[in-house]
Amino acid sequence: MTTSPGATAITPAVIAQHGLKPEEYDRIVAAIGRAPNLVELGVFSVMWSEHCSYKSSKKWLRQFPTAAPWVICGPGENAGVIDIGDGDAVVFKMESHNHPSFIEPFQGAATGVGGILRDVFTMGARPIANLNALRFGAQDAPKMRHLVAGVVAGIGSYGNCVGVPTVGGECTFDPSYNGNILVNAMTVGLARADRIFYARAAGIGNPVVYVGSKTGRDGIHGATMASAEFDDKSEEKRPTVQVGDPFTEKLLLEACIELMATDVIVAIQDMGAAGLTSSSCEMAARGGVGIELDLSAVPTRERAMTPYEIMLSESQERMLMVIAKGREAEAEAVFRKWELDVAVIGRVTDTGRIVATFDGATVLDLPVEPLADKPPLYDRPWTPIARNRPPVPALPETSALGPALLALLGSPDLSARRWIWEQYDHMVMADTVARPGGDAAVVRVHGTRKALALSSDCTPRYCYADPEMGGRQAVAECWRNLTAVGAKPLAITDCLNFGSPERPEIMGEFVGCVTGMAEACRALDFPVVSGNVSLYNETSGVAIKPTPQVGGVGLLAEANRMVRAAFRAANDAILLVGATAGHLGCSLYARNLAGSDVGQPPPVDLAAERRNGDFVRGLIHARRLTACHDIADGGLLVALAEMALAGDVGAAIGTSPATAGPAFWFGEDQARYIATCVPAVAAAILAEAHAAGVPALRLGITGGNDLTLDGVERISLHDLRAAHESWFPAYMSALSD
C-alpha cells in the first residue's frame, strides 16, 4: 500500500482492506463533507480501529469506578496516576502485544515491553518495575515451547537492557490459547505528583518535535492487525514485525526525564500503535487545538517513504512532543547529548484540524474531532453467559493427599516459574525487597521508607465458566495478593483480552467480566485508573478464554513491615483465615482428576473479602504475623506447600473429621489466607478474628523437613521441591520445535 494521495481510487475493496465497514466509510464522508484521499482513509482506519477507538467496549468500560481521593489521573491519558503521599505519585498501565508475539515471539514480546515503558515515562515517571502476564496454549501444542522460549527471552532482553526490573507476572497454559497466545505487559513508574506530563497540545504556534529512532516501514497497519481476527493464512501474510531497540529506548527514557526537569515540554506522547497518526491526533484532541505537520521533516530510515507510510508507520522508540516556542535549542541539546534523532516537524494551530504537507503539497487535512472523539460506537448484541457445566464428578474418597499434592505442584499451572523469572533482571535499581516467587512483588520507593506492592492476576477458567464471577475474582485475587504482603491496595490497571466482539457470546463474556470487575472494584475501593482492550483474539473461529487481566498497585507506608509467604522459623502457629466450604468446582484438583474443568467457579463474597483482608492487613501492620500467603489456585494444601518450600521449613497439620477430605484441602474458596505467628499470640488473634466476624482456625505448627498431615501422612519437602521445581526446566529442555 504505497501510493500518493489521489493516485489510488477509494474503492470498496480499498475500504475493506483498511478494516472499515461500508457504513463506517459513509460516516467518514459525512464527517468531513467529502471523500477522503488514501492518506486520510489510512488515518481514519487506524483511529477508528478497535485498538484506538474502543468502539465495541467503551459503553461497558463506563461501569468501572475510576475515582478515589488518591487518584490523580484516571483513564484517558497514556497511563493512570495515583498519589502515594509526600508528593510522590505512581504511574502505571498494562498493555497487550498478543498478535505480534505469536508471529515473532522474541521481537513481539520485546516491543510490547518497549511500548508500555514509553506509555509510563511519557508522563514524567521513571519506570521502576515491569510485570508480565503470559497465557500459552497446551504444553504439547505445536510450537508452544518455541513461543514460551521466545516470549520470555524477548521480555527479558528488553527490560534487562533498559535497566527496569521485571518483578512479577503470571504464566499459565490452556488449549484455548493454542493459536493465540497472550502477552500482557505492565509498567509501574514513579514521579512527583506536581510534575506529571500530559498529552494535551497547547499554545498556538508552539513547535511539534519528533525525537527517537528514525521512521521506517514498520508495522504499517499494525493497529488494524491487532483488531482483526487471525486466520490460518495470517502467517503467510507476514505482517512486518518490529524489531525492538532497547538501547535507544534507554536513551530516550533518560533524555525525556532530563528534559522534563525543565519547563520546556508542554505536552508529550509516545508514538505507539498508529504512530504519528494517533499521537498527533490525540494530543490535538485532548488540547482542543489543531496540529500542522510537515512530513518531509520526519527523520526516515528508508528511501522514498510516502506520506501514507510516514503517518502510519509503527516504528518503535519514538516520541512526539509540543515544546514551548523559543526553547527548541534547549530540547535539541538534551537529545543530541543522548545521541537521538530530533526534528521540529510541525506546530500547534487553532484550527482544530490535523493538516499534513509533504514536499509542499497538502496530503491530509481533517478535522480532529471526528477522528479522535467521535469514532463509531457500537452497542454490540450480547447474550448472557450461562454455561451448562458438568457438575464436579463424585471424586474417589481418598486419604492419599500426598500424591495428589505432588501431582498438582508438578503440573504446568502450579509448578515453579523460576525458569522464567531468572531470565529477568528482577533486582536492577536495587530496590526489589520481595523478589518474584511470592505473592505480590515489593519494590521500595527509592530513598524513602515506603514501598509498592505489585501483582497481576486473572483466572481465565473461572471467567469462562462464569464471566461475572470470574471478573470479580480477578480483582479480588489481585487485592488479596497485595494485602498478603501487608500493602494497602490502591488502584488497578487492566488488559481485557477477548475473542471477536462481533459474536454475541463473546460480547456476553466481555460484559459479564467487566460487570464483575466493576462490582469488585467498587466493593474494595480499588478504582481502575488505566487499561487496554484486546479483542479478536481468536483463530479460525476458536476464541481464547475470556482473560481480563488485572494489574494492581498497593502501598506499604513502611517497607520493613512487609511479610513474606515463606515460613520464617520452626514453632510458629499456622492459622487459616477465611471460610472454607470446600468448593471444588473449576479447581485445579478437579481438573486433574476429571481431565478438564468441571463445575462452577467459587463464589466471591466481596464483603467477606474485604473483612478478611482488612483484618489480615491490620495484623501485619501491628507486626503480629511472621508470614502470610493468600490461598488461590490449588487451594489450601498447595498454599501450605508453597510456604514451606519458600522458607525451607516444614509443618505439622492436624485435621479433624470436619476438615478431612480433598474438598477441604484442595477447594478454591475465596477470601482466604494462611498466616503464621508466634504461638503466644495465636489465641488472641483467633479471638479477635471471631469478634470481627472473620472465620479463623488454627491448623498446626511449623517445623521439620516434611509436611505432616494428622501425623499420618508425611510428604518430604525434598519431594515437594523436586515436583515443584522440575516441571518447567524439564518441559523447556525438550525444546525442539
Ligand X SMILES: Nc1ncnc2c1ncn2[C@@H]1O[C@H](COP(=O)(O)OP(=O)(O)O)[C@@H](O)[C@H]1O
User: Candidates 27-35, 101-109, 539-547, 685-693 — which segment interacts with other proteins by CB under 8 A?
Assistant: 101-109
Question: Does the footprint of ligand X cover residue 602 (CB under 6 A)?
Answer: no
- Residue 77: CB minimum distance to Mg ion, A: 8
Alpha-carbon 573 to chain mean position? 36
Q: Map residue 595 onto helix, strand or coil.
A: coil
52, three cell numbers: 484506538
Exactly one of 424, 510, 536, 567 binds other proteins (CB under 8 A); which one?
424
User: Candidates 268-276, 315-323, 386-394, 463-471 — which segment interacts with Mg ion by CB under 5 A?
Assistant: 268-276
Binding mask 65-84 for ligand X (x = CB under 6 A): ----------xxxx------
Exactly one of 379, 422, 558, 648 binds other proteins (CB under 8 A); which one?
422
CA pair distance 112, 184, nearest whole angstrom: 8
In DSSP terms, 492 is beta-bridged to 528, 552
Question: Does the footprint of other proteins cover residue 558 (CB under 8 A)?
Answer: no
b vs e for 190-210, b when ≥16 Cβ sit within 10 Å of the residue's Cβ? Answer: bbebeebbbbbbbbeebbbbb
Q: Map residue 240 onto helix, strand or coil.
A: coil
Alpha-carbon 589 to chain mean position? 27
Give the strand order in the sheet containing 207-212: 265-270, 318-323, 207-212, 341-349, 290-294, 353-358, 361-367
User: Candidates 272-280, 482-490, 537-545, 662-670 — which segment interacts with Mg ion by CB under 5 A?
Assistant: 272-280
Question: Does the footprint of ligand X cover residue 530 (CB under 6 A)?
Answer: yes
User: Candidates 100-108, 526-534, 681-689, 715-723 — which segment interacts with ligand X by CB under 6 A?
Assistant: 526-534
Q: Which one of other proteins, Mg ion, ligand X, none interacts with residue 400, CB within 5 to 8 A by kind?
A: none
- At residue 430, φ and ψ (nearest 5 deg) are 50, 45
CA pair distance 531, 185, nearest whole angstrom: 11
Residue 93 vs 724, nearer CB to ligand X: 93
Amino acid (one-letter) located at 411 = S
Question: Does the footprint of other proteins cover residue 306 (CB under 8 A)?
Answer: no
Q: Which one of other proteins, ligand X, Mg ion, none interacts with residue 161, CB within 5 to 8 A by kind?
A: other proteins
Question: Does the footprint of other proteins cover residue 200 (CB under 8 A)?
Answer: no
Using CB under 5 A, count the residues that bind Mg ion.
4
Exactly one of 52, 454, 513, 677 binds ligand X (CB under 6 A); which one?
52
Q: Which residues have a catalytic role annotated?
A: 51, 97
Question: Does the footprint of Mg ion cover residue 78 (CB under 5 A)?
Answer: yes
> What does the angle CA 132 – CA 267 – CA 32 come to, to the nearest 5 degrees?
95
Exactly one of 88, 119, 413, 509 binds ligand X (CB under 6 A); which one?
119
User: Candidates 26-34, 232-240, 524-532, 565-573 — which segment interacts with ligand X by CB under 6 A?
Assistant: 524-532
- Residue 492: CB minimum distance to ligand X, A: 9
Burial class, 561, CB count within 10 angstroms (exposed 0-12 / middle 13-18 / buried 19+): middle
Exactly one of 43, 61, 185, 586 binds ligand X (CB under 6 A); which one?
61
CA pair distance 247, 31, nearest whole angstrom: 42
Contact status, residue 592 vs residue 644, Cβ threshold 8 Å: no
CA neighbor of 699 nearest in space, from 682, 684, 712, 719 = 682
State which H helix or E strand residue 683 sits in. helix 679-691
DSSP string spanning 56-97?
TTHHHHTTS----TTEEE-BTBSSEEEE-STTEEEEEEEEE-
Exactly one of 156, 189, 272, 410 binds ligand X (CB under 6 A); which one?
272
Exactly one of 533, 584, 606, 717 binds ligand X (CB under 6 A); which one?
533
Dihedral of the alpha carbons of 245, 456, 685, 618, in degrees to the nearest 10: 70
Q: What distances in angstroms separate CA 494 from CA 52, 95, 186, one per listed residue?
A: 16, 8, 9
265, three cell numbers: 515540554
- Residue 543: CB minimum distance to other proteins, A: 24
Residue 119 vs 630, nearer CB to Mg ion: 119
Residue 177 vs 498, nearer CB to ligand X: 498
Residue 105 vs 272, nearer CB to Mg ion: 272
Q: Please tell me the total number of residues recorded for the chain in this structure.
A: 737
Question: Does the footprint of Mg ion cover residue 124 (CB under 5 A)?
Answer: no
In DSSP terms, 508 is beta-bridged to none
489, three cell numbers: 491496595
DSSP string spanning 508-524?
HHHHHHHHHHHHHHHHT
Question: Does the footprint of other proteins cover residue 107 (CB under 8 A)?
Answer: yes
- Residue 122: CB minimum distance to Mg ion, A: 6
* Owner of C-alpha cell 514501598: 451
Question: Does the footprint of other proteins cover residue 251 (CB under 8 A)?
Answer: yes
CA pair distance 650, 199, nearest whole angstrom: 53
Amino acid (one-letter) located at 74 = G
Exactly one of 160, 269, 306, 357 binds other proteins (CB under 8 A); which one?
160
Q: Which one of ligand X, Mg ion, other proteins, none interacts with residue 107, CB within 5 to 8 A by kind?
A: other proteins
- Residue 214: CB minimum distance to other proteins, A: 9
CA pair distance 258, 340, nearest whole angstrom: 13
Contact status, residue 269 vs residue 320, Cβ threshold 8 Å: yes
DSSP string spanning 106-117?
HHHHHHHHHHHH
The residue number with the shortest CB distance to ligand X is 531
Question: Does the footprint of other proteins cover residue 564 (CB under 8 A)?
Answer: no
* Owner of C-alpha cell 508528593: 87
In DSSP terms, 82 is beta-bridged to 71, 90
Question: Does the footprint of ligand X cover residue 491 (CB under 6 A)?
Answer: no
Q: Which one of Mg ion, other proteins, ligand X, none interacts with residue 496, CB within 5 to 8 A by kind?
A: ligand X
* Owner of C-alpha cell 487496554: 532
User: Candidates 5-13, 113-121, 215-223, 367-375 — which segment interacts with other proteins by CB under 8 A?
Assistant: 215-223
Question: Does the footprint of Mg ion cover residue 272 (CB under 5 A)?
Answer: yes
Q: Which one of other proteins, Mg ion, ligand X, none interacts with residue 411, CB within 5 to 8 A by kind?
A: none
CA pair distance 386, 469, nearest whole angstrom: 12
Q: Which one of other proteins, Mg ion, ligand X, none interacts with residue 532, CB within 5 to 8 A by kind?
A: ligand X
Amino acid (one-letter) located at 247 = F
Q: Which one of Mg ion, ligand X, other proteins, none interacts with residue 426, CB within 5 to 8 A by kind?
A: other proteins
Exactly one of 244, 531, 546, 601 binds ligand X (CB under 6 A); which one?
531
User: Candidates 316-324, 325-333, 448-456, 525-533 — which segment interacts with ligand X by CB under 6 A?
Assistant: 525-533
Exactly one of 50, 494, 538, 630 binds ligand X (CB under 6 A); which one?
494
User: Candidates 78-86, 159-167, 458-466, 511-519 — which segment interacts with Mg ion by CB under 5 A?
Assistant: 78-86
Residue 514 vs 699, nearer CB to ligand X: 514
Say which DSSP state 295 is in. G
Exactly one of 162, 191, 511, 652 binds other proteins (CB under 8 A); which one?
162
Contact status, residue 234 vs residue 102, Cβ threshold 8 Å: no
Question: Does the footprint of other proteins cover residue 480 (CB under 8 A)?
Answer: no
Give the strand order in the sheet containing 441-444: 432-434, 441-444, 451-457, 547-556, 488-497, 528-534
Using CB under 8 A, count the residues that bind other proteins.
53
User: From the CB of residue 734, how many other CB atoms can be counted at a distance below 10 Å?
Assistant: 9
654, three cell numbers: 492436624
Question: Does the footprint of ligand X cover residue 496 (CB under 6 A)?
Answer: yes
- Residue 91: CB minimum distance to Mg ion, A: 12
List interacting residues with ligand X (CB under 6 A): 52, 61, 64, 75-78, 93, 95, 119, 272-273, 494, 496, 528, 530-533
Site of interaction with Mg ion (CB under 5 A): 78, 119, 270, 272
Positions in the binding site for other proteins (CB under 8 A): 103-104, 107, 153, 156-157, 160-163, 213, 216-218, 238, 240-248, 250-251, 301-302, 315-316, 338-339, 421-433, 435, 444, 559-560, 734-737
